[in-house]
């Protein structure tokens, strides 16, 4: 083997990009474009703290396994293939019912949503494409990458209330519906009579910019070692041909910039064997003999939202703790057959496409396209939740 490498070290070799979240998003975007706006209301949606002067939130992303059909190719000959993702990708539409009054709903066009010849019926897509050239169109759409997030903070179990402030009652039991709401330090006494806990499991939809922020930070976390838990201890020894193992790029001697190296690693011709493809990376850790790059799911993240361009709130990564395993409190089921606290949510159920009839009622699109069967299933929740701001959800555009 080239470079005098010990065959036992090959467990330290990973294909370029591996199974990192940025690469998974590229799989979806390879054959289609994406829109970028909108922020609908979702029950139990996580929103990082945004109050001025507040400490960043401490969270842990929970890795999921979501198998989806991904479009391959274009036009009438396009097909689909199964791919598994750590997050749940989907599309949402936004319809401005009035200035600063957006209404969000989920796309029903399926994996071919950018292929008009093969897409399932979706009133939102029809309206979006029909008005795409109109800069003042009330119709827009956004790619979402949805994560399960464990938020380490105080939460209180309180009765749900409607928009008028009245408690929502379960007519069959004559008891209130309850929800867990976040309790900030200055609110502890206000909620001291309620049941409290120091965590909440939520779902976190990220738009294009926020997802790119997470992806970039995943690259930063990858400089740390999952095996020994030390930070900034992983380095690249050499980049290898995926086919024959020949050394192709030595980071200590190459004249290429980091950006150029990253591009070469995505696909490079090996002069030894003629193979042209992504390179494998041989890594080392300066504190242990079993180097493994950590990823965004191995650390506790410190996050918050701060004003950015045009005073829109933008996601900021404020540091991380770890790499380290989650405490057994969160990974051990309390009851046999039950999920532990830290488990991936059923995001495909939560983000089920909005029924075509509801889409049409919202935007007044009228006729349904013929010859195609809509993707079935409404968004469904076990309890009648209210709309509102903060951790209860909302329809404003500033989240991430």
**What span, in angstroms and rounded, lies between the C-alpha atoms of 253 and 11?**
24
CA quadruple 33, 36, 37, 40: dihedral, nearest 10: 70
Residue closest to 112 by CA, chosen among 69, 176, 146: 69
Residue for token pair 């010859």: 371
CA quadruple 248, 253, 257, 262: dihedral, nearest 10: 30
Query: Which residue spans within the chain are E strands per DSSP?
Result: 13-15, 57-62, 66-72, 79-85, 88-98, 101-106, 139-151, 155-159, 169-170, 175-176, 178-182, 196-197, 200-206, 234-240, 247-249, 268-269, 276-277, 280-285, 300-307, 313-321
> What is the pLDDT at residue 380?
30
Strand-pair partners of 14: 281
| Angle at CA of residue 66, ends 121 and 391, nearest 5° | 85
* pLDDT tens per residue across span 309-341: 777 889 999 999 999 999 999 999 988 889 999
> What is the pLDDT at residue 398?
38
Sorted by where each begins, the domain ranges of the chain are: 155-196
Contact 151, 143 (CB under 8 A): no
Contact 58, 64 (CB under 8 A): no
> What is the pLDDT at residue 188?
92
Q: How far is CA 23 from the centre of its chain?
A: 13
**What span, in angstroms and rounded, lies between the C-alpha atoms of 145 and 86?**
10
Query: For residue 284, which phi and psi values (nearest 5 degrees)?
Result: -140, 155
The secondary structure of 105-120 as a DSSP string is: EE--SGGGTT-TTTPP
Q: What is the pTM of this model?
A: 0.79
Cβ neighbours of residue 345 under 8 Å, at least 6 residues apart? 62, 64, 148, 201, 203
DSSP class of residue 286?
A: S
Q: Which stretches of the chain score pLDDT less than 70?
A: 1-42, 365-400
CA quadruple 264, 269, 270, 274: dihedral, nearest 10: 160
Q: How many CB atoms lie within 10 A of CB 379?
A: 17
At residue 184, the 3 state secondary structure works out as coil
Q: Which two tokens stand for residue 245?
A: 């193992």
> What is the pLDDT at residue 336?
84
* pLDDT tens per residue across span 96-110: 888 878 888 999 999
Contact 261, 254 (CB under 8 A): yes
Cβ neighbours of residue 393 under 8 Å, at least 6 residues apart? 41, 42, 43, 44, 45, 385, 387
**What span, in angstroms and rounded, lies between the C-alpha atoms of 198 and 244?**
52
DSSP class of residue 166?
A: P
At residue 14, the 3 state secondary structure works out as strand
How do strand 155-159 and strand 178-182 relate by DSSP bridges?
antiparallel
> What is the pLDDT at residue 24?
57
> What is the pLDDT at residue 18?
55
């Amino acid at each position: 083997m080239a470079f005098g490498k010990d065959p036992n070290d090959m467990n330290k070799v990973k294909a370029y990009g591996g199974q990192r979240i940025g690469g998974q998003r590229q799989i979806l975007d390879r054959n289609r474009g994406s829109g970028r706006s909108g922020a609908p209301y979702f029950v139990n949606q996580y929103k990082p703290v945004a109050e001025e002067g507040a400490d960043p939130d401490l969270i842990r992303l929970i890795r999921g396994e979501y198998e989806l059909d991904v479009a391959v190719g274009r036009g009438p000959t396009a097909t689909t293939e199964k791919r598994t993702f750590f997050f749940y990708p989907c599309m949402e539409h936004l319809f401005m019912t009035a200035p600063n009054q957006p209404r969000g709903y989920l796309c029903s066009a399926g994996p071919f949503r950018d292929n008009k010849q093969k897409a399932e019926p979706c009133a939102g897509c029809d309206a979006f494409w029909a008005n795409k050239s109109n800069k003042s169109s009330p119709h827009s759409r956004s790619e979402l990458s949805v994560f399960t997030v464990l938020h380490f903070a105080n939460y209180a179990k309180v009765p749900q209330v409607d928009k008028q402030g009245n408690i929502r009652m379960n007519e069959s039991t004559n008891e209130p519906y309850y929800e867990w709401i976040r309790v900030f330090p200055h609110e502890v006494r206000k909620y001291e009579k309620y049941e409290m806990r120091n965590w909440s499991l939520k779902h976190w939809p990220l738009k294009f910019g926020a997802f790119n922020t997470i992806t970039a930070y995943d690259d930063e976390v990858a400089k740390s070692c999952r095996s020994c838990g030390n930070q900034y201890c992983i380095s690249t020894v050499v980049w290898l041909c995926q086919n024959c193992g020949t050394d192709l790029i030595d980071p200590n001697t190459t004249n290429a910039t980091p950006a150029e190296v990253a591009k070469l690693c995505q696909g490079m011709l090996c002069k030894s064997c003629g193979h042209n493809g992504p390179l494998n990376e041989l890594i080392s850790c300066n504190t242990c003999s079993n180097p493994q790059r950590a990823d965004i799911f191995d650390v506790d993240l410190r996050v918050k939202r701060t004003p950015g361009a045009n005073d829109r709130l933008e996601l900021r990564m404020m540091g991380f703790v770890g790499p380290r395993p989650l405490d057994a409190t969160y990974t051990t089921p309390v009851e046999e057959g039950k999920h532990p606290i830290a488990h991936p949510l059923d995001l495909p159920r939560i983000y089920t496409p909005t029924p075509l009839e509801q889409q049409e009622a919202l935007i007044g699109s009228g006729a349904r396209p013929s010859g195609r069967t809509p993707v079935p299933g409404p968004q469904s929740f076990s309890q009648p939740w209210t709309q509102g701001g903060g951790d209860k959800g909302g329809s404003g555009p500033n989240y991430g």
